[in-house]
Amino acid sequence: MRIRGPRPHRGRFPGSSCVHRRVGRLGGTAARALPGAAERACRAARSRAASLRHMDARGPAGGMPRRAFLAATLGGLAVTLAACTDGTPTPTPTPTPTPTPTPSPSPTPGGVPAPEAFLRSRWSRDPFTRGAFSFDAVGSTPALRSALAEPIADRLVIAGEGTSADAPGTVHGAYAEGIRAARTIADLADEGDRIAVVGAGIAGLAAARTLADAGHDVVVVEAGRTLGGRLRTVEDDAFGGPVVLGSVFASDGAELRPVLAEAGVATRPFTPVVEVRTPDGSVAEPSPAGWDAIATAQEWAAGNSADVSLTSALLRSGAVPISGEPGADGLSPRDWLVNALSTGVEPTTGAAPTRVSAQRFDPDLVWRPTSRVVSGWTALVDRLADGLAIAGSSVVTTVTVDDDGVSLRLDTGESLRMHRVVLTASIGVLKTDTIAFDPPLPLLHQRAIGVLGMGASDVVWLAFDEPFWRADAAAPTDGTESDVTEGDEGGATDEPAAAGASDDDDDSGADADANVFTLVGATPTVAAWLDVGVDPRRPMLLGVLAAEHARRIAELDDDDALAEVLAALEPFATG
Q: Is 396 helix (H, G, I), strand (E, B) or coil?
A: strand
Angle at 56 between CA 52 and CA 58, to 5 degrees: 155
- Phi first, then psi, for residue 353 (nearest 5°) are -65, -15
Mean pLDDT highest for which of 24-33, 428-437, 508-517?
A: 428-437
| pLDDT value of position 215 | 98
**Section 111-139 average pLDDT:** 96
> Could you give the percent of the chain with pLDDT greater than 70?
72
Residue 535 banded pLDDT, cuts 50, 70, 90? low
Residue 513 banded pLDDT, cuts 50, 70, 90? confident
Residue 401 banded pLDDT, cuts 50, 70, 90? very high
282-286, 454-458, 498-502: the lowest-pLDDT one: 498-502
Residue 501 has a CB neighbour count (10 Å cut-off) of 26
Q: Which residues contact 381 (CB under 8 A, 6 or more apart)?
A: 202, 205, 227, 228, 231, 233
| pLDDT value of position 289 | 96
| pLDDT value of position 297 | 97
**Section 39-49 average pLDDT:** 41
Angle at 417 between CA 414 and CA 418, to 5 degrees: 140
Residue 255 banded pLDDT, cuts 50, 70, 90? confident
CA 491 – CA 3 distance, rounded (Å): 13
Q: What is the pTM of this model?
A: 0.79
Q: What is the pLDDT of residues 472-497, one digit of tens each?
A: 765 555 543 445 555 433 333 332 22
Q: Answer with the residue of higher pLDDT: 289 or 59.
A: 289
Closest by alpha carbon to 276, among 65, 539, 533, 109? 65
| pLDDT value of position 52 | 37
97-111, 161-175, 555-569: the lowest-pLDDT one: 97-111
Q: Answer with the residue of higher pLDDT: 515 or 397.
A: 397
| pLDDT value of position 110 | 72
| pLDDT value of position 476 | 59
CA 47 – CA 431 distance, rounded (Å): 36
Residue 500 banded pLDDT, cuts 50, 70, 90? very low
Q: Answer with the residue of higher pLDDT: 316 or 274.
A: 316
CA 496 – CA 110 distance, rounded (Å): 36
Q: Answer with the residue of higher pLDDT: 505 or 322.
A: 322
| pLDDT value of position 415 | 96
Average predicted confidence (pLDDT) for the chain? 80
Q: Answer with the residue of higher pLDDT: 300 or 258.
A: 300
Q: Answer with the residue of higher pLDDT: 169 or 53.
A: 169
Residue 34 has pLDDT above 50, yes or no: no
Q: What is the pLDDT of residues 81-103, one digit of tens each?
A: 233 333 333 333 334 444 444 44
Q: Domains (ranges, CATH) in the chain?
A: 21-61+134-168+177-230+378-450 (3.50.50.60), 67-130+236-282+361-376+455-572 (no CATH)
Residue 22 banded pLDDT, cuts 50, 70, 90? very low
CB 533 within 8 A of CB 241: no
81-90, 99-108, 393-402: the lowest-pLDDT one: 81-90
CA 502 – CA 223 distance, rounded (Å): 44
Q: Answer with the residue of higher pLDDT: 528 or 370.
A: 528
CA 20 – CA 389 distance, rounded (Å): 6
CB 33 within 8 A of CB 18: yes
Mean pLDDT highest for which of 77-81, 237-241, 304-308, 472-476?
A: 304-308
Q: Answer with the residue of higher pLDDT: 64 or 208.
A: 208
Residue 119 has pLDDT above 80, yes or no: yes
| pLDDT value of position 475 | 58
Residue 464 has pLDDT above 90, yes or no: yes
Per-residue burial over 285-297, b if 16 or more Cβ lie within 10 Å, else e, is ebbebbbbbbbbb
